[in-house]
Amino acid sequence: MLGASMTDTANIRFEAFVGIPYAKPPVGKLRFKKPQPIEPWTEDYNATESKPACMQKSFLLPDQPVVGDENCLYLNVYRPKGNDTESLPVMVFIHGGGYFFGSADPQLYGPERILATKKVILVTLQYRLGVFGFLSTGDAQATGNYGMLDQVMALKWVNRNIGFFGGDAQSVTLFGESAGGASVQLHMMSPLSRGLFQRAIIMSGSALAVWSLPIEDPLALARKQAKLVGVSEADELTTAELVDVLQYLDAKVLTASMPYLRTWFEHPIVMYRPTVQGAFVPVEERFLPDDPRELWAEGRYADVPIMIGTVPNEGAIVSLAILHNETIRKQFNENLKELLTPVAALNATPSVLEQLKERYFPNSPDNNWISEENSDQFTKMLSDAFIIYPTLKTLLEYTNSNETSCRETTLYSFEFVGRHSFSSLYTPSNTSYGVCHQDELPYLFRMIDLFPDFPPDSPEIEMSTVWTDFLVNFAVHGTTQEPAASCKKSIKMVKFENAKSSPEDASSSPVSVSSGSGLNEELEKIHDFWNTLYSASYIAYH
């Protein structure tokens, strides 16, 4: 295999093998089918050019064209040079993007920071997205979860082949952010992913979040999708006919139609999600055999060490677009009862409205919860609902489970404010909105497509080193296993933030890392509030 040479952040060269196929192109008759093993190639494979993303249309940036290709099942392998003595631990990254956009392009998820540690081999992968990754008819005709099965196949590829690159197939850390983090948690629960990884890092995502919970009526969604692309008799077709029609439609037309599945503005954000696979799928092919809430609560998952964490303003990815569009904000304020369903997956009974208002908008008039003045409260409500609460639920059920070993589990909070923020992509303004969803990523990956490099010797460079080391060290050393006799399942909290600078101490680090043990009272309150709310009033996005 021919690779290329790249340079890490310390100007040391490393090897990059990009665009390696791990499954047959899922096109034609293979659209809406599980991934198929690839034929071995007979001559040298040229792994020097990055391949197109999977088909997608990002809603985050206005007027985005349809990009990508259906032939997109590729992965990238990056390894330090001159590593011939012992095999290195492996980190496998699953990108986020709400299961409908994103890619493993080195211009977006650049390996330079992780490779500068020289401690691990990094693999980044692509998987089918949106309708192509998750369409299901709820029966054997289209069984859903193709994007997740793609990830499983990529993990199997790593298991079989990473040894040839000098990687240790028995020391794999699976990590992902947002929908990629939810995916990592789903792999812990999936019988198909057993034994393919030994540690997990879940960043700003959770399989228990409302935007990742299973589609409840996948066939209704499939019919709705068909109608959007002009299949007028979609409701009358058998599921076999429906899949047949959708299999031959132009991929760009299908992709372009997906945003029209949403019922209000950009909501529900995530229409295509993983589905529970029942008796219509052979047992050995069921990626998700039961509802993730049941699987997780009952401890039916791989007992591997996990690290999990969030940033303060996760909800900005959704809130800013509503806050900065007066028409949309007005609609939301005037139709709260109806719109809390597509936005927050809540049945907004009078009691639910009262609890939300009391907790987040105590001083607002009933008909105008959200204004310029309390916009940060709206962001906080969505941060708590979408990411913070499901993260805490994930963590508490894991540490309280009889099925998990005695070990310390880290909950991190990344609160460092730097010069670049994804908020500049969520809303066209130069205002600072604090640390928003995805803002920890540029300190771990070089994201040259989105942000210019940090200047040398800047606080951001220091933060990148500290943050990357933190995650890589978990991949290398795991976590401390407690002796079973004194079984302590503790939670360690680690916070990354800007150091309070003092003028007389110019030599001090611009980065502050502090740690403590156990959840603080505020986090427990957030967990209990939303747990009560969603237990009684959850309505799946549809």
Find where tokens 């590729």 sit: 74
Instruction: Give residue 487's pLDDT band: very low, low, confident or very high (50, 70, 90).
Output: confident
Please give the pLDDT value at position 335.
97
Q: Tens of pLDDT along 122-175?
A: 999 999 999 999 999 999 999 999 999 999 999 999 999 999 999 999 999 999
Is the predicted pLDDT of residue 84 greater than 90, yes or no?
no
Q: What percent of the chain has a predicted confidence (pLDDT) above 90? A: 89
- What CA–CA distance (Å, rounded) separates 66 from 57? 5
User: Picking from 38-42, 263-267, 532-536, which range would have the lowest pLDDT averaged per residue?
Assistant: 38-42
Is the predicted pLDDT of residue 255 greater than 80, yes or no?
yes
Element (H, E) at 14: strand 13-21
Residue 148 burial (C-beta neighbours within 10 Å; 0-12, 13-18, 19+): buried
One domain, residues 221 and 340: no
One domain, residues 250 and 147: yes
- What CA–CA distance (Å, rounded) separates 77 from 363? 53
95 contacts 176 by C-beta, under 8 angstroms:
yes
**What SS3 class is residue 538?**
strand
Please indicate whether residue 338 is annotated as part of the active site: no
One domain, residues 297 and 444: no
Half-sphere exposure (Cβ direction) of 25: Cα atoms closer than 13 Å: 11
Looking at residue 361, which CATH number applies to its domain? 3.40.50.1820
Sheet holding 4-7, edge to edge: 4-7, 13-21, 74-80, 121-125, 88-94, 167-177, 199-203, 306-310, 409-414, 491-498, 511-517
Nearest to 33 by CA among 253, 291, 281, 227: 281
Q: Is residue 541 part of a domain?
A: no
How many domains does the structure of the chain reveal? 2
Helix axes 350-360, 521-537, angle to 10 degrees: 160
Mean pLDDT of the region 50-61: 87
Instruction: Give residue 64's pLDDT band: very low, low, confident or very high (50, 70, 90).
Output: confident
Please give the pLDDT value at position 85.
77
One domain, residues 415 and 461: yes
- What CA–CA distance (Å, rounded) separates 26 from 71? 6
Torsion of CA 42, 43, 48, 54, to 10 degrees: -30
Q: Tens of pLDDT along 357-385?
A: 999 999 999 989 999 889 999 999 999 99
One domain, residues 184 and 314: no
Please give the pLDDT value at position 86.
87
311 contacts 435 by C-beta, under 8 angstroms:
yes
Structure tokens at 215: 């589609």
Please indicate whether residue 314 is annotated as part of the active site: yes
**What SS3 class is residue 90?**
strand
- What CA–CA distance (Å, rounded) separates 391 from 384? 9
Expressed in percent and rounded to 5, the helix, strand and coil fractions of the chain are 35, 20, 45
Element (H, E) at 494: strand 491-498
Catalytic residue among 50, 103, 178, 204: 178
Instruction: Give residue 484's pLDDT band: very low, low, confident or very high (50, 70, 90).
Output: low
One domain, residues 491 and 396: yes
In 384-458, where does DSSP find H-type helix? 389-399, 423-426
Q: Is residue 282 part of a domain?
A: yes
Is the predicted pLDDT of residue 59 greater than 80, yes or no?
no
394 contacts 208 by C-beta, under 8 angstroms:
yes
Mean pLDDT of the region 85-104: 96
Name the phi and psi angles at 410, rounded to 5: -95, 130
Half-sphere exposure (Cβ direction) of 17: Cα atoms closer than 13 Å: 21
Nearest to 231 by CA among 368, 173, 240, 222: 222
Structure tokens at 26: 């899922």
Torsion of CA 260, 263, 264, 268, to 10 degrees: -90
One domain, residues 294 and 216: yes
Q: Is residue 349 part of a domain?
A: yes
- What CA–CA distance (Å, rounded) separates 158 from 167? 9
User: Of 268, 291, 309, which closes a domain?
Assistant: 309
One domain, residues 198 and 121: yes
Average pLDDT, the chain: 95
User: Of 309, 337, 367, which closes a domain?
Assistant: 309
One domain, residues 291 and 331: no
Q: Is residue 126 part of a domain?
A: yes
One domain, residues 429 and 478: yes
Structure tokens at 159: 């298991």
Is the predicted pLDDT of residue 481 greater than 80, yes or no?
no
Please give the pLDDT value at position 116.
98
| DSSP of 457-481 | T-HHHHHHHHHHHHHHHHHHH--PB
Q: Which residues contact 372 (CB under 8 A, 6 or more apart)?
A: 323
Is the predicted pLDDT of residue 532 greater than 70, yes or no?
yes
Q: Is residue 105 part of a domain?
A: yes
Q: Is residue 223 part of a domain?
A: yes
Please give the pLDDT value at position 505.
65
Catalytic residue among 177, 314, 440, 460: 314
Please give the pLDDT value at position 504.
62
One domain, residues 249 and 182: yes
Please give the pLDDT value at position 501.
75
Please indicate whether residue 206 is annotated as part of the active site: no
Identify the domain containing residue 501 by its residue range.
Answer: 310-536
Catalytic residue among 70, 437, 460, 537: 437
One domain, residues 236 and 88: yes
Q: Is residue 521 part of a domain?
A: yes
Please give the pLDDT value at position 426.
87
Instruction: Count the neighbouring beta carbons within 10 Å of the beta carbon of residue 166.
Output: 18
Q: Is residue 542 part of a domain?
A: no
Is the predicted pLDDT of residue 499 greater than 90, yes or no?
yes
Q: Which residues contact 8 (CB under 8 A, 6 or more apart)?
A: 14, 111, 112, 113, 115, 116
Structure tokens at 232: 């007028």
> ω into residue 274 within 30 of 0, thus cis?
no
Please give the pLDDT value at position 449.
94
- What CA–CA distance (Å, rounded) separates 202 from 391? 9
User: Of 290, 309, 328, which closes a domain?
Assistant: 309
